[in-house]
Amino acid sequence: MSPAALLSSAQWTPVGIKGLEDAAMEAVQATGNTLVTAGPGAGKTELLGQRGVYLLQTGTCVYPRRILAISFKRDAARNLRERFQRRCSREQAGRLDSLTFDAFSKQLLDRFWRALADPWAFRNYRVSGILSRQEFNEWLLTAASGLNDPARPSGWAAKILGKAPTPAQIHGVNYDAFTLGIHNLTLEPLTVPTVPGFLQFALMRREIKRDPAPLTFPMIGRLAELIIATNPKIRDSILATYSHVFVDEFQDTTGVQYSVLKEIFRGSEAVVTAVGDDKQKIMGWAGAQANNFAQFKHDFLNGGAKAGHKHITLSINYRSNARIVEILNTLKKRLAPDEPNFRPVRPAPNLSPEQICSVLVSPDSDSEAVALAKFIDAQIQDGLRPRSFGLLVRQKAGDWEKRISPAFERTGIFIRNEDRDVGGASIQDLMTEPYAVAVSDGVELLLRKRGGVVWTRVIDVLGELEGIVEDEDPERMQEIAIALDKFHAEYAVPDAEVVATAEDISRLVEKVEKFFGLARLKGLGVQYQQGDFFDRVRNATHSFLRECTGDGASWKNALGRYRGDDQVPLLTITKSKGLEYDVVVLLGLDDNDWWSFQKNPDEGHSTFFVAASRARERLFMTLCQGQRTAKIGEIYKLLEEAGVRTINSDSITSIRT
């Protein structure tokens, strides 16, 4: 946008929506660091999208500086990017870098790795997963036996630190504590306060000496932090690039990720906007800090109101109806009693309270599955789509799939276990991978007589692969369009309704890959640039597409199965974050499924809150007679306070849509 076209702050209005609540508008136009508490359904992604548009359309983010948006998960980064693209011009969208924390840290390491000095210098590296439990046990033995030998990693660590744990202390570390240890150490200044941190520090030394060095993403983050901490000019170059920073799902930020954020942007002129919800802290097992909000206030809001620093709380819930919001407000009392209540924008449907939310009790697991299948089938017959339901579980989605699928299949409904591994990736994760999206869109294009919106998506990918957009090089984009039309004319499937075999779809995928260029497809994601991650995603995509051709499926049906059309999603509560469903059924609200609740009640309450807040219209929890609920008695007490009744599972009725 040219300077002449810039708007003043007073002239600017939200783009593509009717408006924002006053608190959200305040956050969009904030001039200083801002922490935004955005509860479920508050529209946090929309807020960040509008803030980005505001910064560019008013010239607050001065050309050619950019906006950095970092998220915990890839799908969140993608959603924000897509939301932004719908709200502004392509030129403006090109000035937003929407990345995950891991991708951002990896970019820093890839660009500046030569700045690392001994003992952390390396020649090459690959992205590696965390140690398996067997590898962890072997590492404990290795570390304990090498404490007195400086030539071995643990002995080297002991010498550098000037202290070491005893072998007994090392063997006393469990697997979960070990995986979290890297979040509690720093390389500059060198601080290793715990035994799990010592084990991670020594492991980093072992891995860095290999060629290529197998590095986990937390290790990559620690090395990126070290580069910034020891090279002020590199920090200055990053700050010269980004004038504004967004952090999405801030409550999930890990110790490593927060350290990178703080090392670069604390005390700088860059304006940081962090958006999240302390009530939805359920990623502690993955390293999320327990005190992210307090830490941000200390590090980024210490200038106070005079510096434009603010903590803003959003209160409107755009997702759930009034009855469900009422229940969420009761649950909120346990998590954030001082926060204002959520305010709904939609009334509850004209149903009795127990038909909107209740605990469904069944005599046994078979009766439970039959009742749920009957209810969901009736809702589908009345016009609700299968993907409008969300079957949520605390853990072990595979076990629940086996338990309920037979009853659903007898009614012609298929369950889609989004957590299931399909050859190197879970189904849910696979659907967001850039390679998988591009290839499946290419396949869909060849199943259509006319491309329509799919043709547009494929053209956009081809432009991205060449690093151009239509506005910049219309002649080249025209050449690409002609080539795409030729490809479609030559390889389009004559009849998408005929049966497709696994070999058929593999051949078609190979043609799509050849047209895109396999090496270029690898360039679609920063996560593909090291190690075998790209190969695993590619293998999972091929494997799952082949699987979807079973039982005599047509081309069209196979692709529909791959994408989950007409399937009811089943997923863990953790995987459901950021999603919403018309009807949520939380399976197994009992001590068996919630066995760890008493170990960490705060996280347990947050997990239940996340599950309940996914529901738009109706919310149900299931319980089989004879299952104990004493360990989660606090949840049942809150439900009772909210007026949630217990009814027979066959008592729920359909709503005609």
**Do the domains 3-106+228-314 and 322-420+569-651 sit in the same CATH topology, yes or no?**
yes
Mapped onto helix, strand or coil, the DSSP state of residue 10 is coil
Mapped onto helix, strand or coil, the DSSP state of residue 227 is helix
- Tokens in use for 403? 């338990």
Find the mean pLDDT for residues 161-178. 96
pLDDT above 80: residue 497: yes
CB 477 within 8 Å of CB 468: yes
- Tokens in use for 72? 């915990």
Find the mean pLDDT for residues 476-483. 89
Amino acid (1-letter code) at residue 401: E
Residues with Cβ within 8 Å of 382's Cβ and at least 6 positions away in sequence, in order, are 654, 655, 656, 657
Please give, one letter per residue, the 3-state secondary structure of 54-103: HHHHCCCCCCCCEEEEEECCHHHHHHHHHHHHHHCCHHHHCCEEEEEHHH
Instruction: Give, for 343, the enclosing helix (H) or strand (E).
Output: strand 343-344
What's the CA gap between 559 and 549, in Å, rounded? 8
Q: Which residues pair with 367 in a beta bridge?
A: none
- Tokens in use for 365? 């697991």
How many Cβ atoms from other residues are within 10 Å of residue 539's Cβ? Answer: 15
Confidence (pTM): 0.90
Residue with tokens 């396999």: 518
Q: Which position has the higher pLDDT, 228 or 530? A: 228
Q: Which position has the higher pLDDT, 43 or 655? A: 43
Per residue in 93-141, pLDDT (tens digit) is: 889 999 889 989 999 999 999 999 999 999 999 888 889 999 999 999 9
Amino acid (1-letter code) at residue 569: P
Mapped onto helix, strand or coil, the DSSP state of residue 123 is coil
Per residue in 276-300, pLDDT (tens digit) is: 999 998 888 888 898 999 999 999 9
CB 526 within 8 Å of CB 107: yes
Taken in order 503, 508, 511, 516, the sign of the CA dihedral is: negative
By CB atoms closer than 10 A (0-12, 13-18, 19+), residue 315 is middle
Torsion from C-alpha of 243, 301, 336, 101, nearest 10 degrees: 40
Per residue in 454-475, pLDDT (tens digit) is: 998 999 899 888 877 556 678 8
Position 73 confidence tier, pLDDT thresholds 50, 70, 90: confident
Q: Where are the domains of the chain?
A: 3-106+228-314, 130-215, 322-420+569-651, 427-563
- DSSP letters for 376-389: HHHHHHTT--GGGE
Which has the closest alpha carbon to 621: 335, 281, 327? 327
C-alpha 238 chain-centroid distance: 25
- Tokens in use for 37? 């508490």
Position 4 confidence tier, pLDDT thresholds 50, 70, 90: very low
C-alpha 293 chain-centroid distance: 19
What's the CA gap between 538 and 439, in Å, rounded? 9
Position 188 confidence tier, pLDDT thresholds 50, 70, 90: very high
Taken in order 286, 289, 290, 292, the sign of the CA dihedral is: negative
CB 244 within 8 Å of CB 273: yes
**Secondary-structure class of domain 322-420+569-651 per CATH:** alpha beta
User: Given its phi and psi angles, is residue 472 left (phi above 0), alpha (psi -120 to 50 degrees) or beta?
Assistant: alpha
What's the CA gap between 583 and 324, in Å, rounded? 11
pLDDT above 70: residue 410: yes
The answer to which of 87-91, 234-238, 408-412, 439-443 has the lowest mean pLDDT is: 87-91
| Predicted pLDDT of residue 465 | 86
How many Cβ atoms from other residues are within 10 Å of residue 269's Cβ? Answer: 7
| Predicted pLDDT of residue 2 | 44
What's the CA gap between 402 and 184, in Å, rounded? 39
Find the mean pLDDT for residues 67-89. 84
pLDDT above 70: residue 226: yes
Indicate the pairing of strand 567-572 with strand 125-127.
Answer: unpaired
3-state helix, strand and coil shares in percent for the chain, rounded to the nearest 5? 55, 15, 35
Instruction: Give, for 478, the enclosing helix (H) or strand (E).
Output: helix 474-491
Q: Which residues pair with 647 in a beta bridge?
A: 360
Which has the closest alpha carbon to 359: 110, 648, 557, 68? 648
| Predicted pLDDT of residue 1 | 41
CB 143 within 8 Å of CB 170: yes
Q: Which residues pair with 312 in a beta bridge?
A: 36
pLDDT above 80: residue 317: yes
For 527, phi then psi, to 5°, come to -70, -10
Indicate the pairing of strand 357-362 with strand 414-417.
Answer: unpaired
| Predicted pLDDT of residue 34 | 97
Residue 572: DSSP 8-state: E
- Tokens in use for 103? 């991708």
Quote the mean pLDDT of the chain. 93
What's the CA gap between 12 and 649, in Å, rounded? 51
Measure the N-to-C terminal CA separation of the chain; round to a whole number of Å: 44
Q: Fold for domain 3-106+228-314? A: Rossmann fold (3.40.50)
Whole-number Cα distances in Å, 188 to 155, 460, 484 = 20, 42, 51
Position 647 confidence tier, pLDDT thresholds 50, 70, 90: very high
C-alpha 185 chain-centroid distance: 25
Report the share of the chain in percent with pLDDT over 70: 98
Report the share of the chain in percent with pLDDT over 90: 81
For 254, phi then psi, to 5°, come to -85, 170
What's the CA gap between 371 and 386, in Å, rounded? 16
**In the Cβ-directed half-sphere of 88, how many Cα atoms lie within 13 Å?**
29
| Predicted pLDDT of residue 3 | 45
- Tokens in use for 527? 């996560």
Position 320 confidence tier, pLDDT thresholds 50, 70, 90: very high
